[in-house]
């Protein structure tokens, strides 16, 4: 019979910061309202410039340090102040920009499960990708691990896309995102996901 390990089990959280993520603190956040119940995960997709992967422009955008003159597309978003709690690259690398106990600026005008202003009580996760196109298995694996870890700290009851909380205004992550795959990886009940 194997001897139980005496090694301490690594905890996934240090306050609202995930210990497995590369931390870069964004200035774009604020306090959650008093009594906010963080029970929603919002999945987004982003790439800067659109369809180009592997650079650091997304990180720069969330940090407020994007060089607006580095690409013509950036003129269209000049001055934008946004953030997400997390960003998952095509290779599955996890970055964190905002303490999950704080309110990141990812959802905008939104409503889901009978509540408006989803920034107040959600965690925003950006996947490196282009809305409507496919995502990599490494991203699904990293996303599922993160969702499970979030459920250890918060009463997560729902997972939705930006398109579901802001229909008609946003379309990400789009038709290329495999919701059944995420549900299977998580093993969570279908009621916790959007009807697809």
Catalytic residues: 126
What are the backbone dihedrals phi and psi of residue 70, each rounded to the nearest 5 degrees, phi first? -75, -20
Q: What is the secondary structure of 7-23 as a DSSP string?
A: SPPPPSEETTEETTSEE
Compute the Cα dihedral for 180, 139, 102, 131 and give only its sign.
negative
Nearest-angstrom CA–CA distance, 130 and 127? 9
Compute the Cα dihedral for 44, 49, 55, 57 and give only its sign.
negative
> Kindly report the CA angle at 135 between 129 and 138, in degrees rounded to 5?
115
Q: Which two tokens stand for residue 29?
A: 């956040």
Which letter does DSSP use for residue 50 in this model?
T
Per DSSP, the three-state class of 73 is helix
């Amino acid at each position: 019979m194997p001897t139980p390990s005496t090694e301490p089990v690594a905890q996934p959280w240090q306050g609202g910061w995930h210990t497995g993520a590369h931390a870069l603190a964004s200035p774009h956040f604020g306090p959650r309202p008093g009594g906010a119940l963080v029970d929603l995960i919002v999945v987004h997709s982003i790439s800067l410039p659109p369809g180009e992967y592997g650079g650091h422009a997304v990180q720069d955008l969330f940090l407020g340090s994007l060089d607006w003159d580095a690409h013509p597309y950036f003129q269209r978003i000049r001055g934008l102040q946004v953030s997400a709690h997390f960003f998952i690259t095509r290779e599955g690398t996890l970055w964190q920009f905002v303490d999950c106990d704080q309110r990141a600026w990812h959802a905008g005008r939104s409503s889901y499960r009978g509540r408006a202003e989803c920034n107040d009580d959600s965690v925003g996760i950006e996947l490196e990708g282009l809305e409507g196109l496919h995502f990599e298995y490494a991203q699904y694996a990293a996303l599922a691990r993160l969702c499970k870890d979030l459920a250890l700290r918060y009463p997560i009851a729902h997972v939705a896309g930006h398109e579901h909380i802001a229909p008609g205004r946003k379309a990400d992550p789009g038709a290329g995102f495999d919701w059944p795959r995420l549900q299977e990886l998580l093993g969570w009940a279908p009621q916790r996901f959007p009807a697809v």
